[in-house]
Structure 1
Amino acid sequence: MFNFFKIIDNKGLKYISEKCKNRTFDRIMPIITMMGNLGIIWLIISSLMLLKVEDRIIGIGVILALMLTTIIGEGIIKHIVRRNRPFQENEEELLINRPITYSFPSGHTASSFAALAVLLQMNGKLGLILSPIATLIAFSRVYLKVHYPTDVIFGMFLGITCGISVVSLLGRVVF
């Protein structure tokens, strides 16, 4: 089973390296990935929502989803799986600073999709507007060779699951 995932990962990395690599992306992807550092873009958005009474519950939902995703992904799963990052396997130069944590799952992706799941459920229009940001952050992690495709795919599932769980919990508590 792990061979299957390794084949997917290697083919995905090779495809992106051969078909998507260009100077424009080399300049843009580090900026996009930086937006996901510590979930900063999602914390800014949720903080702005906290300022508006009618959006406050959405902001709280995003923050709770980010916390849950971080605890599960960064705090638990990464330390169980302990997967090295792609650049460590091939000793490649990176366009960004080398991350010091493990690879699986992608925390940037998990946080982005946790926030997106909350936003889509609680304010669909805003969620749709922000969905390209989450998608680009996820893609940037593979493009920059700091995650394998399966790290990002699992990060998406983890984030969506946490976002749905938080909204479900908030629905029982608040509504």
Structure 2
Amino acid sequence: MENATRAFIMAAGVLLGVLILSLGIYLFSIFGQYSANAYETMEKNQITQFNSQFFKYYGNTTYSYVDENGKEKTITNPIQCTAHDIISIVNLAQQNNIQFQLTNEEQASDKTRYIQVDIGRNKKNQNVEKWSETDKINFLKENADKNYKCSAVLTNSVTSRVNHIKFEEIVIP
């Protein structure tokens, strides 16, 4: 009988040990999953915050008014950007490209975090993220009174970060 009691106590000890070990593994798994989810959420928020610097220039503004006949009219116009806004975007792109050591890249792709900025269809105004300070100052002088619209903001399919932004001059007829 004494051996049976000892065997029972040993079995209970082993079962208790397995239970504690299982609980430890379960808690480790839960905390690890929570940590991974928190990190993923933080990363998504950082990407959203980064992209918002570019997307704020993209899209349309809509406003309504009542005409002389009492009818409500709605007008939709693209968000207007100035030459200063474009240079701000160029500076952001340059900072990004320097930070990720991508100054030798030529165009945006899904393989890198390079950001490309283009203005219009003129070859001279392609890859303006490579402009020097003098080029930027000259652009500001020559285009201070012009308005632009952001015609496209493209994102990297791998990182979801903005990698290409295009502007076009708004021509008022």
TM-score range, shorter chain: under 0.3
Q: Which has the higher strand share?
A: 2
Query: Computing the radius of gyration over CA atoms, which structure comes out larger, 1 or 2?
Result: 2
Which fold has the larger relative contact order, with Cα–Cα distance below 8 Å and residues 6 or more apart in sequence?
1
